[in-house]
Amino acid sequence: MLKKLFINFLLVAAVVAVLDFALGKVLRHFYFRESSGLHYRTTYSMEKADADILIFGSSRANHHYVPEVFADSLGLTFYNTGRDGNGIFYQAALLKSVLKRYTPKVIILDYAGDFGKGRQVYDNLSSLLPYYQSHPEIRQEVNLRSPYESVKLLSGIYPYNSQLLTIAVGNLDMNKKRKSDNKGYVPLETEHPVVKEYFNSLIQQPVDSNKIESLREFVRVAKASGTRFVVVYSPLYQEHKRYWEIEICETICKEAGVPFWDYSRDSFFVQQPDLYYDPVHLNHKGALIFSKQIASRMRDVLH
Amino acid sequence: MVFTSVNFILFFAAVIVLYFSAPLKWRWLVLLVASYFFYINIKPVFAILLAAVTASTYVFTRLMDQTRKESRKNVYKVINIILVLLPLFFFKYFAVINNSLIAGLQGWGIHWPLPEIELFLPVGISFYTFMAIGYTIDVFNEETPAEKHPGIVALFISFFPLILSGPIERAGNMLPQFRNPVNPDYDKVVKGLRFMLWGFFMKLVVADRIGIYVDAVYHNIPNHNGTTLLAAFFLYPFQVYADLGGYSLVAIGVAGILGIKVMDNFRRPFFAATMAEFWRRWHMSLITWLTDYVYTPISFALRQYKLWGIVYSLMITFMISGIWHAASLTFVAWGLLQGIYLSVEALTNKQRANMEKKYKLANRGWYIFLSCLITFILFGISQVFARSANLQDAFQVLGKIVTEPGALFIGAPSILIFSILGISMVMLKDFTDEYYPGRFLLFENRNKPVRVMAYSLVIVLILLIGVFDGGEFIYFQF
């Protein structure tokens, strides 16, 4: 009985392995052929970006820093690597990949202000799975997803799990209809925020020490690279109810001798609905004003 | 340690090796240790409750067995039921009652002496409590002899495939299997693996994918229009079916591989033409439990009221079912609705049968389809209450569906597309099983290459479009 079971099990495993290998190769091929969208921007950030100024962060970074403002004001090239829904682990992994290739003149980390425990930020590290094999420097972060991540990644399909349609769209004519980014920056156009009790849901969460450690490491690695490095907390529609999280970040920066610019309580931005897309994201108008302020301060740092 | 985790796969592989390499007479011990390890892994302190429920059940069923006096046996039965129910009441209902009293009395200016509390519900408590009560009543009714071996009783109540979300098994079926384990059987192992594979598909590809959409909608009801809420209305029953149905299949498959036959929990529920039939196909282990231990005794006691006795019994049974799910008004409403549906059906059964006979409707495709659709919609309405955080939300959802049409919220298109693909596959399988039994088989095809390809493609589909970050099963919260 065991022999029969074992042989049939092996047979199914062999067919699955062949399908997994073939389909994995196809998916990989088309994934890296995309020329717009989130996949493309991550690939570009990791493997091609060579701008003087690099912005790191989550959606708040992605939607808050307007390239032209920095290029015009500082006369430097610019790329925004911010990605929606991705936290400090993603940013730390990305930084390591970038620094392996070159050292930008300026790095701005837009810190998203979340040290709360929760699976989401770990789950969202799936965006780095396609790079796991070819970028050993990001494995420390990706392995935070689960202790078995390296085993799961023996599968060719797994790194592209749930991405089938996105990859297909990125390789079809529909691709051209996608809203394109501007050097990584994606503007948000809606002008009126829906004011939700967004931060109330965060109040009870306990602290995730992995996130604190990861931020510490980001700051240490960026500082050690010799780049001009600044950490920014960009504006919020209403005051952060877990302000101590921002204070932790400030302390980490202070200890490392890195400037920390906190705009979370800046009266110019707080409670100004026409500058926001939603309670935590500036719209393009808000992003323009904010970018000008950051670029102006950056000019002082550079000179 | 959820069934869909790598930890569980490793754990189960170790259990299989240890179980089948142990001598027959010690296999119960392997399973008992594995079951407690599995449960302790969630939160060690909860195992104390489990052990206490087991000890109480063992002691009182043994006392019942040794007593000839009916009245004394009854006293033992009642004492054990109360003792077994105490933890369930405390963890599931005490905080709700206490906090409601604080809020309610505050309005009257009265200070309630206890502080507001929030208790963590021990996972699976509703399931193993019902199994312990069922066993107690079975021993009292002399349908099952009291088990003399405490280890076998402990294993029955804690058996790891069933402890978290059922199926709610009966002592009469399980105890003899634990007492007399069998050696591995090729067909049983393969059948168990098939069940597990399809269960994983239902959970990872269907339930968790739908869950992304439904959660996004229900977490933000005020900002969604009727069309979007209607989409969530139709999707949620499929999510629950794929979630609990998927869990049940994995549980049945795991037990089956160990040579233990566990009752079915779902039988193509969305092909039910009436609510009565629906409840013979949906969460069958809970419903048969409620029928045997709640509905039948009540309807027997109310038999002099004839049809109305049945109506009262139905209402009480489903109210208990609702409260068993959760101590909230939404589940009271859920139970009330089921009671109303079934009562109306019971009261109009004759007229319906006459109409079907007169117009020869029973075998007409359109009539069957319409009946199934109406049953689905009625169940869907009740599920709005089950899914909503409170009654206000539930009424808002139902109100908006009727009054606020608009553009459908799509979010990431892949969520809806993969959801529909998954639902179609599950429903196609159910459809062929229902109307063409023994035909169009894939997993059970006579042709080996077809079987191998079917298994392989389902595994590839899980890898390709399964949700691996979906988290726990819905019924863990009950």
With contact defined as beta carbons under 8 Å apart, do B132 and B144 qualify? no
Q: Is B478 helix (H, G, I), strand (E, B) or coil?
A: coil
A107 DSSP β-pair partners: A54, A229
- CA B313 vs. chain centroid, Å, equals 21
- C-alpha B9/C-alpha B28 separation (Å) is 20
Instruction: Examine residue A1 and state whether it is found in any structural domain, yes or no.
Output: no
How distant is the Cα of B145 from the closest Cα of chain A, in angstroms? 35
DSSP letters for B370-391:
HHHHHHHHHHHHHHHHHHSSSH
Q: Do B460 and A119 touch (CB under 8 A)?
A: no
When CB atoms are compared, the residue of A5, A12, A161 closest to B468 is A161
Measured CA to CA, the distance from residue A268 to residue A179 in angstroms comes to 30
Which residues form the domain of A281? Answer: 26-302
- Enumerate residues 6+ apart whose C-beta is below 8 A from B246: B198, B199, B200, B201, B202, B203, B204, B206, B207, B473
Q: Which of B190, B456, B467 sits opposite A16 (nearest CB)?
A: B456
Query: CB B275: neighbour CB atoms within 10 A?
Result: 23
Contacts of B413 in chain A (CB under 8 A): 165
Residue A150 to residue B400: CA distance in whole angstroms = 47
Asked if the structure places residue A168 within a domain, the reply is yes
Is A14 within the bounds of a domain? no
CB contact under 8 A, A5 and B189: yes
Name which of B456, B457, B467, B472 to mutate to probe chain A: the one with the most chain A Cβ atoms within 10 A of its Cβ. Answer: B456
More confident residue, B120 or A216: A216
Tell me if A158 and B463 make a contact (CB, 8 A cut-off): yes
Q: Is residue A269 over pLDDT 60?
A: yes
What ipTM was assigned to the predicted interfaces of this complex?
Answer: 0.85
pLDDT confidence of B472, banded at 50, 70, 90?
Answer: low
Residue contact B456–A166, C-beta within 8 A: no
Establish whether the linkage from the previous residue to A235 is cis, with ω within 30° of 0: no
Q: How many Å lie between the alpha carbon of A104 and the closest alpha carbon of chain B?
A: 34
- Tell me how far apart the alpha carbons of residues A47 and A266 are, in angstroms, rounded to a whole number: 36
Query: A188-235: per-residue pLDDT in tens?
Result: 886 555 555 454 555 556 788 899 999 999 999 999 999 999 999 999
The total of structural domains in chain A comes to: 1
Give the pLDDT score at A179. 60
- The pLDDT of B33-37, averaged and rounded, is 97
CATH of the domain at A38: 3.40.50.1110
Summarize the confidence of residues B381-394 as an average pLDDT.
95
In a 3-state reduction of DSSP, which class is residue B109?
coil
Query: Which of A5, A123, A160 has the CB atom closest to B469's CB atom?
Result: A123
Q: Does residue A281 contact residue A197 with C-beta atoms inside 8 Å?
A: no
Give B223's contacts in chain A (Cβ within 8 Å): 194
Question: Of B186, B460, B467, which is closest to A23 when you measure between CB atoms?
Answer: B460
Q: Supply the pLDDT for residue B413.
A: 86
Q: Tell me the nearest-neighbour CA distance from A300 into chain B, angstroms.
A: 42
Mean pLDDT in residue range A138-163: 93
Handedness of CA B158, B159, B165, B170 (dihedral sign): negative
Q: How far is B287 from chain A (nearest CA, A)?
A: 35
According to the model, what pLDDT value does residue B109 have? 76
Which residues of chain A does B414 touch, with a Cβ-Cβ cutoff of 8 Å?
Answer: 162, 164-166
Q: What are phi and psi of A54, to 5 degrees?
A: -120, 130
Residues 6+ apart with CB under 8 A from B314: B295, B339, B342, B343, B346
Residue B460 and residue A16: Cβ atoms within 8 Å? yes
What confidence tens digit (pLDDT) does each residue in B410-453 have?
A: 888 889 999 999 999 999 999 999 999 988 888 888 899 999 99
CA B88 – CA B22 distance, rounded (Å):
35
Better-predicted residue by pLDDT, A189 or A261: A261
Question: Are A165 and B417 within 8 A, CB to CB?
Answer: yes
Whether residues A126 and B469 touch (CB distance < 8 A) is answered with: yes
Secondary structure percentages of chain A, helix, strand, coil, to 5: 55, 10, 35
Closest residue, chain B, to A6 (C-alpha): B186
Structure tokens at B98: 């206490």
**Residue B167 and residue B264 in contact, taking contact as beta carbons nearer than 8 Å:** yes
Q: Cβ separation of B455 and A12 shorter than 8 Å?
A: yes
